[in-house]
Amino acid sequence: DAQFGPAHPRWIRVNSLKSTVDEQLDTTFKGFEMVPTVAEVMAPASTGKKLICLDGNVPNLIAASPGIDFTKTEAYKSGAIILQDKASCFPAYMLDPRPEDGDIVDACSAPGNKTTHLAGILHERGFAGGQRILAFEKDKHRAKTLAKMVGAAGSDKVTKIHPGADFLKTDPDAPEFRSVGALLLDPSCSGSGIVGRDDTPEFHVPAAVGAASKPTAGGAGSKVLKRKRAPEAPTVVVDDDGAETVLSEKALETRLAALASFQLAILLHALTFPRATRVAYSTCSTHATENEHVVLAALRSPVARRRGWRILPRERQVRGMREWPVRGDFSACEGAGEGGEDGGDREGGDGVDAAVVAEGCVRADRE
């Protein structure tokens, strides 16, 4: 949302497991004025006003005037609303989980914003009997935060958490994963895209839920991790727990290469789940090394070619994504793009198609 300048609205996702947008408009947002665009929420003339706007891309998402503390509201404390940045709401929405998909994997889950979003979407669509979200989190401490957030959001009954489990060590052919039809991949990254916010909803866990493992700042009540604005050249990297490190150009390159190699391993692993037909890949990074390059490398891999993974054409994306103006640069990607070359031998004669990009978020499909 760089189009709105350095200030950003407060993004609020209504958790459909616990509430509805209409209910929240009548309660939490009573007294707020509804305006048609986010630009109006953020206009200089709007300073000091209590304005909201329904997001045009992602359902159940509300932009509110900055500077308003929602952490004291009943809705926040009860898990009816979740403070979650718009970019963080794309992956679950674009993955488009459905009852017929069987189990859904969230490979890198904590603190659980996207896990709970997946649950909310499936709740609206009607969970199929026995359908679960399988949430992996390698870091045991962060897995505790995940469990608390999943509980607070009311999605614990449908979410099976694998605390301390390394997604890369799972056997995709194990009986437990036989029905996995879609995977969400949000691996650790450089965090270079986290800018221009006073706090980071991504790591903003309700006080009742607990803090991320190493909060760098934030009051005891709200557990908000304060972030500094990144400098023009994003040589700052932010780890999963919010700690920032400024790197030299050379050190940054080395760090990005290591991250990209791990991210590619996660993506390639996901592509091997036998029943999987959709994968969403996202990062909080602005570096192509962690975004397009990872996706391109994955799509060029033997497994992707054999199984027929492709970038999903715009017209087949979820509505809000079709209308989202930003796309990744896949010009270097011969054959992996919309309607690209045939992937060669396909396993089981599967049809294909594969990925979408928005703010470092990619969806891959086959059918």
Least distance from ligand SAM to the Cβ atom of residue 264, Å: 12
Binding segment for ligand SAM (CB under 6 A), chosen from 7-15, 21-29, 161-169, 336-344, is 161-169
Least distance from ligand SAM to the Cβ atom of residue 353, Å: 24
Beta carbons within 10 angstroms of residue 228's beta carbon: 11
56-to-51, 62, 335 alpha-carbon distances in Å: 16, 9, 31
| Residue 28 vs 113, nearer CB to ligand SAM | 113
Question: Residue 88 interacts with ligand SAM (CB under 6 A)?
Answer: yes
Least distance from ligand SAM to the Cβ atom of residue 269, Å: 9
Of 137, 290, 292, 359, which one interacts with ligand SAM (CB under 6 A)? 137
Rounded Cα gap, residues 276 and 291, in angstroms: 21
SS (H, E, C) 124-188: HHCCCCCCCEEEEECCHHHHHHHHHHHHHCCCHHHEEEEECCCHHHCCCCCHHHCCCCEEEECCC
Least distance from ligand SAM to the Cβ atom of residue 137, Å: 5
Question: Residue 188 interacts with ligand SAM (CB under 6 A)?
Answer: yes
Rounded Cα gap, residues 71 and 59, in angstroms: 22
Question: Residue 167 interacts with ligand SAM (CB under 6 A)?
Answer: yes
Of 35, 38, 110, 355, which one interacts with ligand SAM (CB under 6 A)? 110
Question: Residue 168 interacts with ligand SAM (CB under 6 A)?
Answer: yes
Rounded Cα gap, residues 60 and 98, in angstroms: 17
* Residue window 140-159: x/- pattern of binding to ligand SAM, with contact defined by CB under 6 A: --x-----------------
Question: Residue 359 interacts with ligand SAM (CB under 6 A)?
Answer: no
Residue with the shortest CB distance to ligand SAM? 108
Q: Is 323 labeled as ligand-binding?
A: no
Q: Is 111 labeled as ligand-binding?
A: yes
Residues taking part in catalysis:
284
8 Å CB contact between 286 and 360:
yes
Binding segment for ligand SAM (CB under 6 A), chosen from 112-120, 125-133, 311-319, 341-349, is 112-120
First and final C-alpha spacing in the chain: 32
Total site size for ligand SAM, rule CB under 6 A: 21
Q: Is 173 labeled as ligand-binding?
A: no
| Residue 112 vs 215, nearer CB to ligand SAM | 112
* Residue window 222-251: x/- pattern of binding to ligand SAM, with contact defined by CB under 6 A: ------------------x-----------
Cis-peptide into 111, omega within 30 deg: yes
Burial 5-35 (b: 16+ CB within 10 A, else e): eeebbbbbbbbbbbbeeeebbeebbeebeeb
Phi, psi (deg, nearest 5) at residue 72: -90, -5
Half-sphere exposure of 252 (CA within 13 A, CB side): 20
Q: Is 231 helix (H, G, I), strand (E, B) or coil?
A: coil
| Residue 187 vs 360, nearer CB to ligand SAM | 187
Contact positions toward ligand SAM, by CB under 6 A?
88, 107-114, 136-139, 142, 166-168, 186-188, 240
Binding site residue list for S-adenosyl-L-methionine: 108-114, 137, 186
